[in-house]
Structure 1
């Protein structure tokens, strides 16, 4: 019970406060969009920039950690897409969007604060290792899959579709923050020393990122009330909240990940789908109702499932 009340509940109380504020109309949708725009376009990229700039790339980039997490993610995508297409009889574009919901866990907005509260700030190195390739890899993968599905019957080259997908990913603020962090990391190793005032500003901006993002997440979730599509929503919840962390946990044991890596990988895998999963569906205008409802329902259910995974971890 301690993990539920001391680790998970504070994070979801901030999300719930944002939900309450929008429900009571104490903030307009425009104001909530402004909070989320600040968090996603500025504060969170700075947070990632600072974290990755100071990572020990040699010590923290264990390929087995990434393999354990992303094997579970890609298996979740394959299962979600396959079941949507063959079982739910959805068009292939809908199936890919639903698969993306199963693929894209909320690694940053929920995974980082829950890991920090459960295990302390020093336990987040594995989280940031995963996050450093999360958006670039999964967005490129998802967009490429969707573009190939939409290009059926058209005379488009593989390279052209992949290049179009990669170009879109490289223009997103989170990816820019990640790439900037890698560049600063390499420059620091080469002897560049930035003044303390610079890092103080980075810390100030970073400290606002997660509270603002969690509050804004609650406001955004208020708009996405669950409607119909019960089988698809239940499937997304089971795959993202149970299958992904189970696969990651099993592979982590097989790969003999150390305790810190196992915690980061499993907690991140146990997170519900992020709002970006809905934004991906909205970008292509497919399966929007399923995506929005699955994000909302899975976020609520994750209070209990994350509690289970925290108890399962040593």
Structure 2
């Protein structure tokens, strides 16, 4: 019951955002302005204040990254070998099955369940999440077809060098260098950070109105791989390798169980694959409302 109560406000705000977008109660300019503020101001402040105050210590352990990224890359490879064998072309399906929405859904969920003690592990993961997965996808695309059909190096760098990464880096610098910020500045950053999570979830809901709910074996396979197989692999590896903090393992499993991140759509080929990935994002977000509480209960 506690797991359901923890996740209800998260998906309640997503539903609110969907209704606002579906009914067009928010104008196009309003949605654009809210999204800009959320991703360039509010969420960077969430990451900055969180990691600046977090006890980094064990969170910087390579074991944390091994337990998460080995299963993620294995799933990425498995899906892409299958789809490439059938179509002869690289796709974004492997990325969809292995890339979690760990900012928009992960941060509010981990914050509600574990507080700052859990967020430090998620922040350590976020520092490399996009870098590892997007770089792997770009390399795979480069080996699979011509330069005109893959995200370029400049596009990748723009994706990685974003305000979220900047917020993480500034927060880490403040923490590691033990920099004392003036109290009024901390207050300002805290106020901005408090607006980040609810606004981010509303933006997710509004964004889902761009996708259509489709159903096919392909889409269900991607969603099951993301919501069931990936957290299961992370849990199995975390239990098999000794030395990982139990709280860290809980955070990693729940991060792996998050729905597909919306940024995957940027790597999908126009046409049928974009429709498939978009529908997978939509369906995985809906299904996560039921699967995430189950993973929470399983992890205690």
Which TM-score applies when normalising by structure 2? 0.90
State the shift of 1:31 in Å: 2.0
- Which residue of 244, 254, 257 maps to 2:230? 244
Post-superposition shift, 1:134?
Answer: 1.3
1:179 paired residue number: 169
1:130 corresponds to 2:125:
yes
Counterpart secondary structure, 1:223: coil
Quote how far apart the aligned CAs of 1:70 are: 1.0
Equivalent position of 1:149 in the other structure:
144
- 2:113 is matched with 118
- Structure 1 residues 74 and 276: CA distance shift in structure 2, 3 A: same
- How far does residue 205 in structure 1 lie from its aligned partner after superposition? 1.2
Deviation string for 1:20-39 (max 9, x for gaps)? 11112211233223222221
Could you tell me whether the CA contact under 8 Å between 1:54 and 1:185 is conserved in 2? yes
Distance 1:163 1:222, change over 3 A: closer
What is aligned with 2:249? 262
Instruction: Quote the residue 1:156 is aligned against.
Output: none
Q: For the Cα contact (< 8 Å) 2:52–2:174, is it kept in 1?
A: yes
Q: Compared with structure 1, are the counterparts of its residues 56 and 3 closer, same or farther at alpha carbon in structure 2 (3 Å cutoff)?
A: closer
The runs of 5 or more residues in structure 1 that have no matched partner are 154-160
Instruction: Sort the Cα spacing of 1:136 and 1:174 in 2 relative to 1 into closer, same or farther, 3 A.
Output: farther
Distance 1:107 1:147 in 2: 26
Distance 2:163 2:181 in 1: 22
CA displacement 1:263-305 (0-9 Å, x = unmatched): 1111101001011112333xx6362111110000000001111
SS at match of 2:87: coil
How does 1:1-314 map onto structure 2 within 5 Å?
Answer: 1-4=1-4, 6-86=5-85, 89-93=86-90, 95=91, 97-151=92-146, 164=154, 167-188=157-178, 192-227=179-214, 230-256=216-242, 257-281=244-268, 285=270, 287-314=273-300
2: distance between equivalents of 1:279 and 1:31?
23
State how far apart, in whole Å, the 1-side matches of 2:32 and 2:245 are.
40
Superposed CA RMSD in Å reads: 2.3
Q: Encode CA deviations 1:153-172: one digit per residue, 9 max, x unaligned.
A: 9xxxxxxx996576334432
Change (3 A) 1:63 1:225: same
**Contact 1:105 1:272 survives alignment (8 Å):** yes
**How many equivalent residue pairs?**
296
Partners of 1:259 and 1:304 lie apart in 2 by 23
Runs of 4+ in 1 over 6 A off after TM superposition: none
Distance, in Å, in 2 between the alignment partners of 1:110 and 1:166 is 23
Structure 2 unaligned segments of length 5 or more: list them: none
1:22–1:222 Cα contact (<8 Å) kept: yes
Contact 1:144/1:165 (8 A) holds in 2: no
| Cα contact 1:52–1:181 (8 A) shared by 2 | yes
